[in-house]
Each structure stands twice: as structure tokens, then as C-alpha cells.
Structure 1
Amino acid sequence: MVVQHNMQAANANRMLGITSGAQAKSTEKLSSGYKINRAADDAAGLTISEKMRKQIRGLDKASSNAQDGVSSVQTAEGALTEVHSMLQRMNELAVQAANGTNSKDTDRKAIQDEIDQLNTEIDRVAETTKFNEIYLLKGDDGEKTINMKAHDAGLKGTLTDNGDGTATFKMDELNFGDSVSIGGKNYTIGAADADVDAWFTANGTDVTDAANKKVTINGTEYTYAAAVAKDTTAHTGAIAAGWYAKTPTAPNDENATTTPDFANVAAIKTAVKAGATVKNGTKSITGMNDAKNNTTGAAAADGISDNDVTVISKTKAYDLAAKELLAANQIGDTEGNAKVGIDKNYAATDGANGNGTFYIKTGQSKVANTLSFSLHVGADADMTNKITVDIDTMNSANLGIKGLNVADKNGTAATYAIDAISDAISKVSSQRSALGAVQNRLEHTIDNLDNISENTSSAESRIRDTDMAKEMVNYSKNNILAQAGQSMLAQANQSNQGVLSLLQ
């Protein structure tokens, strides 16, 4: 028997220490709820868990970023809803102003006053709408020049907008006798003298000095009658050959000769060249009779009939069309850029040139740069986690309605304003559509981020969190082992008491 080394007690004490350590760890896990409280608990698990925690917290914040993005987009889109309402009202007012029953001095002025107020309010909304101190509809720093859309002034033809600030308008072909509406006025294309000569010899016209041929002149039908010689026996007189409005009858006076209204086709041509209108079947022609300037009275052709100011030459029609095209394309042009000409150098028409093809340089306006900001919607630094939101400045200059005027004399300006307002409505619709698309995308992004965060949290929980039921079993086991170890240590310490009996 030895007393220096009580191995039973030492062994019991060692095992008790192991059990106490395990019991302490179980207590820590149960009290903290984590089975990894220090790197020593699970070095690999800690690394994986912290990496997952970084992802989870990043995903949660990305979801919050996306929700803030939805709020900002909703703010901008809500403001544009009111801009849309104001533009619709302006369109209503422009349509009203285009009506010919309005008085320029009173009615159109009142309409213009309301349009001015609406324009000012659109600018104010664009200037003041903001989210978290970010102006959403004001644009960004710096300026850019934008081109307006080309307009055809309501003329019949084909407009081709090149998208680079230029356009081409090909007017429908005009021929003499055609009716054309320019600037709200109706005109008839008159025939030049050469056109008159050609018309009478054209296929299908069939106006010749032959018996019983018919032609309508200024609405009255004329019939060609052959000559009838004087009958000296019956003393019935004679009938000269020519065109008569009514069937000629022999005169009572044997010396009298019935004369026609027009002796022959040549006489009819002369009448047409003087401004008469001749119709044969479906074909018709109206002469110009353009010998003086209708404005000054001077003896100089101006492309306008001396008999009827609604009868104009083809080249005069092109000249008037060019002026209307320019007026229509000057709306919203704050830079004075709009031009219309007959060639690519924008040479002006002068009433004696032009072939129906017009080259248009569209109006321009200087506006603020597009506001662009990115929403970070991912946990990583990958640039694909950026969703960019672009919002153009939505003031009257960018919408092409700055300085819109409808208070002219005959409502033509209001008619052209309708097209400009339509373009503005389309531009706001396009911006709202883009914002709506971004909002829908962000909502899907939020759902996806929340789903990934939830699943990653579940995986991290399995690594990091304490299984309370399982750990309680371990705790109970270690508690029992600790109590047993204490009892065995006490028994081991008692085992050396037998030495005392040998020393007595």
C-alpha cells in the first residue's frame, strides 16, 4: 500500500475534470444558443458561418436598398401622373383653341392664360419633386441639347424623321385641279398656260370642234353646233359654227347670224387661261390668270389667281407648305434651330421653286443631363448587382412645349400645338413606362433577395445554432457523470485510510 500516489483518486479527479469541462461547454451552448462560441469549438464551421453571416446581412441590406429604390421610383412616377394630367388638359385646351368659333382677343387669350399656368406648374413639379433630398425630375448636373420630333403641319405626304435632328417631308404630288389644304385653308391648284394647252390634247379629254361635242365651262354645259347657212327662200337667217350654251335657233331676221358663246376650242382655251374652269367628264382644269401681285397690285405674277385667291400655282402651294412646316417645327425650339428648305442646305422657297420635297432641321432645346443612379441589390461587389434608374428632366423645355402659343388669329398655331402636346404626352408615357418596369423588376428582386437570405440563414443556423434537445441530453449525461465522479473521488480518497491501521 502506498500513500504518495493515490492513482484511483488521481484517475477519478482527471475524469471529473473532463466531465466538468464538457459540462461547462454544454452550459455555455445552452445559455448562448450557439454551438460555436469560439473558434476552438469548430474552426471550419466558424469560417463557413461567418461567411454566411456576411452574405445574409448583405442580402438583408440589399433588400432594404431595393425597397428604397421602389419608394423613389414611386415618388417620381406619382409626380409624372400629375404631369400627364396637366398635358391632357393642355391638349383639351389646344383642341378648343383650334376651333374657328373662338375670338383671338378674348377666347384664345383666356385659353393661352391657362396653358401658361399649366406650363409653369409642369416646370415647378420638375424643379421640386425629390426623394431623400435627391431631385428626381430636375435632371443631373450639366447640359445636353435634344432634338424635337419633326412635324408635317397636317399636310398630306410622307414624313421621314432621321432621328438626328433632320427630317424629310415628301408632299403628295400636286396637279392642276387638285384641292389641297394648307394652314387650315383650302386651295385649288391652278393651271399654267402650258398646262391648259396640254390638257386639251391629253388622252380622255376629247374637247374638239365637232358637232354635238359637249364641255362644261364654269358650271354651264356647252354644245358644239355646226354652221347652218342662211336660207334665202325662207329668210331664216344663218347659224355660225361654235359652242353654245343652248341649242341655237334660226333668227327671224334673214340678215342676222346667230353667233356662238365660244367660236372654237381656241376661244375656250383663252377663257381658261383667263381663269375659267372647264370640265369634260371626270377631267377638269382651272386657269391661273396670274398677271399681277395680289398684295401690291403691281403687274407681276405671284402664284395667286387674279380672279380667285383660293386658286394658286403648284409652286406657290409649295411655298405656303414650307412656311407652315417651319411654323409647326418651331414649337418648343428654344435654340432657334428649326429650318425648312428645298435642299439639304435649307434653301428657302420663293413661290417659284420647289418640287414637293422639303428638308427639315428640327427644333432644339438645352436641358439638364439625365439623372442616373444605381441601386445595389446584392451582397457582393459584382457590378451585375447594380440596377440603374434613368430619369430625364421632365420640364417644359424637354417636353417640347416651352413657350407654347395658341392665341393666333385663325387657330392654326393651336392645331400645330396639338401635335407638340401629343409628343410631350408620349415622352412622359415613355418615362413612366420605364419607371414602372424598374419598379416591377425591383419587386421581383426583393422577393428573390428575401428568399436567398432565408435559405442561407437556415443553412447558417444548422452550422452555428445549438440543438437544444440534443445538447440538453449531453448536459444531463455530463451532470450525472460529474456527480458520479465526485462520489468516486470521495471513495478513492477513503481507500488510503487503511494505512492508519498498520501504524497503530
Structure 2
Amino acid sequence: MGLTVTNSNTLSLLNILNKTSSAQSDTLAKLSTGYRVNKGSDDPAGLIAIQSLNSELVSVDAALSNSARAKSMLDVADGSLKEISSLLTQVQTLAAASVSSGGLSGAELAANQAQIDNAITAIDRIVRTSSFNGKNLLDGAQSIRATASDPTKVSDVRVYSRPSQDSTQSFAVNVTTAGTVASATLTTVSAASLGDAQFTVTGSLGTATITVADADTFAEIRDKIIAAASETGVSASISGSELHLQSRDYGSSKFVSASLISGDTDFANVSRTNGTNAVVTVNGQQAFVDGLKVSYNSNGTSGDFTLTTTGNVAGSAGNVNIDGGGATFQLGTSSNTRSTVGLNSLYSHDLGDSISGYLNTIKSGGANDLSTDANKALEIAKKAISQVATAQGRIGGFTKFQVESSVNSLNATKEGLTAARSTVRDIDFAVETAELSRQNVLLQSALSLLGVANQQSGQILSLLR
């Protein structure tokens, strides 16, 4: 190349210097932010992937927040249920102590009744005040609304969950076979012909020894058996000259038996005789039945109800109709991950059932208080305990298998998405630091060579001297 005033070397070096300086600026930006992609020109496809991953992570974080709130709400309900269960256990203990009234004075029975009254009042207070973020939990405000089309056949309808997208549903209830109590004949001899005897009566709750005097009437013998019903679960009835034993409840788990210990052999030994469960279909699907209590799971809906004595006959028992309600939780990132759970009312007038009676009836002055029927009070307390345990189990199951499993899945998803975003977006500091060192060397070298190139222009002036 000739010696001219146009110094192409300088221009070339300036171009290289500008490129190196621009690359160094990009490297410094990456090192200062920690991101490989800071603007669209860094990696257009990568930027699209990052924005998509960011959107998914925002959805996952929102779902995790929703799940955490759902768990907190259900934990509050579970804590209240634990206290209600504890109070009901105390009610059961007091009722059981009051059944054997022979060893208790009137003042002691009155004290037991007063304690039961206080416990039931406390239960109603807990139900009324249990809330989360301003929403009552156990007073029925969060229950799934369900009714029976024929309340004379189906009662105590409760729904524990339903599909969130189907707020209105109807389930046809059909009784294939009626349920029965366990029943057997103890004696067919009139009371006037019976003598002294002692025998045991055994049922699903246990065994009691019955002592009969020669002068006892059929009614007195029957009443002795009934008085021990809280120990045995066996009642008695008279039909003409026959004395019958029967379980107080329906179902295959209920049974009666009797064994003569001594005395009049007209009291027969009764081998174990079991009742039967009703056979019921809900929307054509076989339901789970314990006596007359029917539990079903159909099309994402689960619940239970009780057949009344009127409904305990073969044929249609009407429909169970659902009309919305319940607490709905968003447990995932899409609209089809919503779940609805029902928190049914647990007031004392809802605990129990239509057959045995409700918890509020065992308060002072109620139809089943201790002075009226301590056996019935004990039976109701047991059913209330079972009902609360069922509610607690349903909430616990929903928390464990729906909420907590969703949280675990979302955390795994978040981990995967974060790792994927990091792969696309984040820089390798070791690589970028090495690149910055290389650019510094190139920049210093270019600056030094630019000085050399500028000296070439000065040589032209020396020729003109």
C-alpha cells in the first residue's frame, strides 16, 4: 500500500475498537445482571422462551399461594373439629355414667345434665365463631346445598364434594332390598308361666346379664333388657305371648344373641342373629350402605344420607338434588384444577340423625335428656361423635390428597421451570469473566496499535520538509 493521507489502518483499527468496546459493554451488562438475554437482540428465540417460562412460573406461584391459603383454612376447621370431638367425648362419658342411675343420686344426675348442657352450648359457640378471613366454616355457610325430593324417605343429606364445574346435579335413589334389624325370639311362654332365671343378652356393643324374678311381668322383663341397651345395643318388644330381642340399629354389623345361665329353661338360648344392610343404588351405581346410612361416590360427587323407616322399602326413594354451594379452591394453574368441598353444619340440631334424634334434644327439657332417656342420649352422643369424625376425616383426606399433593406437584413443576429458565436466561460467570478478560486485552491492543497507525500519517509531513 502506498503512503497516502488516507490511513486505512487507522479506520480499520477504529472499527475493531468499536466492535470490541460494544462487545465489552454487552459482557458487562450480562455480568451485572447475571442474565444472558437482556434485550431482544441478544437472543430473540430465547427471549420468547423466557417470557413463556416466566408466565408459567407466575401461574405456579399463584397456585401455590392459593393452595397455602386453602390448607390454612382447612387447618382452622380441623382444629375446631378436634375441640368439638373432645366435648362430645365428654358428653358421651356423662351420658354413659347416667345410664346406671341406680348408683347416682338425683343431685348427681342433675350435675351430669348441667355439664352436658354446657358442653352442647360450647359446641354451638365453636360452630358459630369458627371462621377464616371473615368466612364462617362450620355453620353451613360453606356446605354444598343438597335436598331430598322426598324427605319422608331420605333424610340427613350431606354432600362432601362435587365437581366445581357442575353446580347442579340430581341423583336417583333406588332401594333394591330393605335393611333389617337383628331379631330373635327369647321366649314364647307367657310371663305367668315363667320362673326365676338369669341369662345374658349380647349385641354389637357388648354383653349384659339380666336377672328375672318369678313375679316379673313381660313388661318388666322387657324393660330390664331395654335398660341394658346402652351396654348391648339390644332392645326388646312384646308380641302377644312372645318376647322378642332386636338390635336398636339396622345393618349386618348388628346382632343379637342370648344364653341362659340358670333358672327357667323357657328362656331359650338364642344363637347369634344378624341384621342386614339395605341394598341401594344411586344413579344406577351400587352405593356403600351401613344399615340405613348410604354413602356414595358418583361422577365426582361424594356424600351420604339416611333412609327413613318409610324409605326403607324396595322401590324408588326419590332423588337427591344438589344446587351449588361449597368452598371452591384453585389447586393448579388451569381452570380444570378447581375442587369444591362441602363443610356441613355442625350445630347441635344437625348432629345426630332423624332416627335416633339430634344432639340438642339431650339438653335439659329435651326429648332425650338424662331424666327422660339416658340410653337414647348416649346413642345420640355416639352418633354425633361418628359424624364429627367423618367430617374431620373428609377434611383431612381433602387436605392430604388434594391440597398437599397439589403443593408437592406445583413445587416440582416450579423447580423444573426455574431450571429451564436458568438454562436459557442465566450466564456462566466463569465463561463471561474469561470473555471480559479477552476483550480487555483486545481493547488495550487496539488502542496501542491505533497509536502506531497514527504515526504513519506523521511520516508524510517529514517528506515535505
How big is each residue's C-alpha offset from its partner over 1:338-370, in whole Å with a ceiling of 9 and x where there is no partner?
xxxxxxxxxxxxxxxxxxxx94579xxxxxx99
**Alignment correspondent of 2:125:** 124
Larger radius of gyration: 1
Task: After TM superposition, list the pairs within 5 Å mapping 1:175-190 onto structure 2.
Answer: 177-178=187-188, 189=190
Find the residue that maps to 1:375 and give its secondary structure.
strand
For residues 367-425 of structure 1, give each alpha carbon's deviation from its aligned partner in whole angstroms, at most 9, with x where no partner exists.
xx9973233233x22412x3444321221122121222588899661111222111111
Q: How does 1:48-447 map to 2 (within 5 A)?
A: 48-101=49-102, 106-140=107-141, 147-148=155-156, 172=183, 174=185, 177-178=187-188, 189=190, 310=219, 315=239, 359-360=309-310, 372-378=326-332, 380-384=333-337, 386-400=338-352, 401-405=359-363, 413-441=373-401, 442-447=403-408
Task: For residue 485 of structure 1, give the secondary structure of its aligned residue in structure 2.
Answer: helix
Residues 1:106 and 1:68: Cα distance change in structure 2 (over 3 Å):
same
The answer to whether the Cα contact below 8 Å between 1:66 and 1:375 also exists between their aligned partners in 2 is yes
* Aligned with 1:471 (options 432, 438, 460): 432
* Distance change in 2, residues 1:361/1:109 (3 Å): farther
SS in 1 for 2:447: helix
After TM superposition, the structure 1 = structure 2 runs for residues 451-466 of structure 1, keeping only pairs within 5 Å, are 451-466=412-427
Residue number in structure 1 paired with 2:234: none
The answer as to whether partners of 2:123 and 2:348 remain within 8 angstroms in 1 is yes
Q: Residue 372 of structure 1 contacts residue 388 of structure 1 at CA under 8 Å; is this kept in 2?
A: yes
**Aligned-partner residue type, residue 47 of structure 1:** I
Which secondary structure state, in structure 1, belongs to the residue aligned with residue 326 of structure 2?
strand
Query: Does the CA contact (< 8 Å) of 2:113 and 2:370 recur in 1?
Result: no
**CA distance in structure 1 between the aligned counterparts of 2:138 and 2:10, rounded to whole angstroms:** 84
Are the structure 2 counterparts of residues 406 and 169 from structure 1 closer, same or farther at C-alpha, using a change threshold of 3 Å? Answer: farther
The TM-score, its normalising length taken from structure 1, stands at: 0.56
Indicate if the aligned counterparts of 1:98 and 1:411 stay in contact, CA closer than 8 A. no
**Does residue 483 of structure 1 match 2:441?**
no
Structure-1 residue corresponding to 2:11: 10
Q: Structure 2 CA distance, aligned partners of 1:404 and 1:101?
A: 20
1:281-312 CA-to-partner distances (Å, cap 9, x unmatched) read: xxxxxxxxxxxxxxxxxxxxxxxxxx957499
C-alpha distance in 1, partners of 2:369/2:429? 88
- Once the two structures are superposed, residues 122-148 of structure 1 have per-residue CA deviations (whole angstroms, 9 ceiling, x without a partner) of 111011011222222122179766825
Question: CA, structure 1 residues 276+498, in 2 after alignment: closer, same or farther (shift >3 Å)?
Answer: closer
Distance 1:317 1:387 in 2: 59
Q: Which has the higher strand share?
A: 2
Residue 45 of structure 1 and its aligned partner are, at CA, apart by: 0.7
Counterpart amino acid of residue 345 in structure 2: T
Matched AA of 2:109: R
SS of the residue aligned with 1:374?
strand
Report the secondary structure of 1:397's partner residue.
coil
Match of 2:20 in 1: 19
Q: Amino acid of the residue matched to residue 172 of structure 1?
A: S
Moved more, 126-135 or 408-417: 408-417
Q: CA deviation at 1:173?
A: 5.6
In 2, are the aligned partners of 1:370 and 1:393 still within 8 Å (CA)?
A: no
Residue in structure 1 matched with residue 231 of structure 2 by the alignment: none
The code of the aligned residue for 2:97 comes to Q
Return the TM-score normalized by structure 2: 0.61
Q: Which residue of 2 aligns with 1:258?
A: none
CA shift digits 1:34-69 (9 cap, x unpaired): 111111111111111122122223323323332322
Whichever residue aligns with residue 403 of structure 1, its letter is T
1:403 to 1:126, Cα distance in 2 relative to 1, 3 A:
same
Amino acid at match of 1:483: Q
Q: Which shifted more, 438-447 or 32-41?
A: 438-447
Instruction: Name the SS of the counterpart of 1:403 in structure 2.
Output: helix
| Alpha-carbon distance in structure 2 between the residues aligned to 1:394 and 1:107 | 29
Aligned residues: 331
Counterparts of 1:392 and 1:445, CA distance in 2: 24
* Kept after mapping to 2: 8 A contact 1:79/1:125: yes
After superposition, the C-alpha distances for 1:425-461 in whole angstroms (9 at most, x for unaligned) are: 1111111111222232333332332232223212211
Cα distance in 2 for residues equivalent to 1:397 and 1:317: 40
Question: Structure 1 residues 433-442 or 42-51, which shifts more?
Answer: 433-442
Specify every segment of 5 or more residues in structure 1 that has no aligned partner in the other structure, as ranges.
150-161, 179-187, 191-274, 279-306, 326-357, 363-368
1:497 counterpart = 2:442:
no
Overall identity of the aligned pairs, in %: 26
Given that 2:77 and 2:137 are in contact with CA atoms closer than 8 Å, whether structure 1 keeps it comes out as: yes
- Alignment-mate amino acid for residue 402 of structure 1: N
Change (3 A) 1:94 1:468: same
Structure 1 pair 115–361 and aligned structure 2 pair: CA distance change class (3 A):
farther
For residues 173-224 of structure 1, the C-alpha deviation after alignment (integer angstroms, 9 at most, x for no partner) is 658x43xxxxxxxxx756xxxxxxxxxxxxxxxxxxxxxxxxxxxxxxxxxx
